[in-house]
Amino acid sequence: MTISKCARAVLAVSLLTLTGFSAKVNDGVVNYFDIPETISFNKLDYKLAWSSHPNTIYYKQEYVPAGDTVTRFQDMIMIDFIQIGLPVKAAVEAQVKTIIERKKTDKVCNYQVLKKSDDDLILDFVMSDYSSADNVVEWSAYHYSQYTDKAGHKGVLLFGVSHRAYKDQIIPFMTSLLKYKTDNLKALSTFPVPEIQIK
C-alpha cells in the first residue's frame, strides 16, 4: 500500500476516532488487545466498556470509570490500533485535518501537537457540541506511537484520555481547563504504552 493510500485510510479512521459525540451500537464488548480490562490512570480506575473492529486494520477500545457510560461520561480512556505502515506524523496530520475542518463550525475547537520524537507525538485538543439540548465540551489528548506486538503486527498505537463537561458544568470546566490539561498531559507523557497483542 502506498503512503498516499495509507494516508487516506488513516484519514477515514480519524473520522471515526473523533466521533465522540455520536451514538454507539454495542453488540458486546470484545477485548481485542488481550490486556487487563481495568486501567488505572492518574489516580482513577477505568473499566473496558466498549470495543469495535470495523475493518481489517482498525481496532478500538474505550474505558470509563464506574458510574460513567461511553455515551455519557466525564472521563474516558481510548486505545486505538491502526495496523498500517505509516509514520506517526502522517497519522497525526490526518487527525489534525479533521480538527481544522471542525473549527469552521465549532468556535471552541482548538489544538496543539506536542513532540516527544518523530515516532512519539501527543495531540491535545478541545471541541464542543451545542447541536442538542445536552450541550457538551470535551478536552482530549491522544498519544500516538509506533508499535509492534509480539506476533509482528505493526502499526500506529493511540492511547487517549478525554474529559467532558455538560450544560452548567461547562463554564467551570473551561475556567479550570488549563490546570487540568497540564496535569493530565504530564501524566500521559510518562504513562507506559500498553503492551497490546492483536488476537
Residue type, 12: A
Q: Which three cell numbers stand for residue 132?
A: 442538542
Q: In which band, very low, low, confident or very high, does the pLDDT at 118 lie, cut at 50, 70 and 90?
A: confident
- The mean per-residue pLDDT over the stretch 155-179 comes to 94
Closest CA to 163 of 38, 10, 26, 44: 44
How many Å apart are CA 94 and CA 89, to the nearest integer? 9
- The mean per-residue pLDDT over the stretch 22-35 comes to 79
Q: In which band, very low, low, confident or very high, does the pLDDT at 23 lie, cut at 50, 70 and 90?
A: low
How many Å apart are CA 29 and CA 151, to the nearest integer? 23
33-42, 112-121, 187-196: least confident range: 112-121
In the prediction, which pLDDT does 3 show? 42
Q: Using an 8 Å Cβ cutoff, are 155 and 82 in contact?
A: yes
In the prediction, which pLDDT does 133 show? 72
Rg over alpha carbons for the chain, rounded to the nearest Å, is: 16
Backbone angles phi, psi at 131, to 5 degrees: -85, -10
Question: Where is 80: in which H helix or E strand?
Answer: strand 75-82
Closest CA to 177 of 138, 144, 142, 143: 138
pTM score, whole prediction:
0.89
